[in-house]
Amino acid sequence: MTVSFRDQEILDAYEEWRVGDSERTTAELAEDIGISRQRLYQVLAKHEVRLKTGERSRDDVSTAVVSAVGEAVLDQLMSTRAELAEYRERYGPLTQG
């Protein structure tokens, strides 16, 4: 994979950054090179650079959590729709006001 000039600048700045030597955060590093922290992490992930600040979060875990929450919300929505249909059948349409 070829590295763009801008990506190389970002990678170089990250390589030069020493976590323990200063109080600078990754957000400050990103700001110094004119990008967002999210963009910094995107470039690092794209080029499979090991993080100096700890392990990268696992996408499969977060995806599983999001999927479980989404399923629970969908179940609740379907249950609420069924209750509303039962209410309308018994009492007629909802009135406004």
pTM value is: 0.53
Q: What 8-state DSSP symbol labels residue 57?
A: P
Is residue 5 over pLDDT 90? yes
How many domains does the chain divide into? Answer: 2
One domain, residues 41 and 15: yes
User: Both 67 and 88 in a single domain?
Assistant: yes
CB 30 within 8 A of CB 36: yes
41 shares a domain with 72: no
Residue 10 lies in a domain: yes
Range of the domain at 9: 5-46
Q: What is the mean pLDDT of residues 89-95?
A: 90
Alpha-carbon distance of 53 to 17, in angstroms, equals 11
In a domain, 51, yes or no: no
For residue 83, is pLDDT > 60? yes
- What phi and psi, each to the nearest 5 degrees, are found at residue 20? -80, -15
Distance (Å, rounded) from C-alpha 17 to C-alpha 27? 12
- Quick: pLDDT tens for 9-62: 999 999 998 877 667 788 899 999 999 999 999 999 999 898 887 765 555 556
User: Do residues 39 and 13 share a domain?
Assistant: yes
Integer CA distances (angstroms), 76 to 65, 72, 90, in order: 17, 6, 21
Q: What is the pLDDT at residue 81?
A: 95
Higher-pLDDT residue of 63 and 74 is 74
The residue ranking higher by pLDDT, 73 or 21, is: 73
Q: Are residues 10 and 42 in the same domain?
A: yes
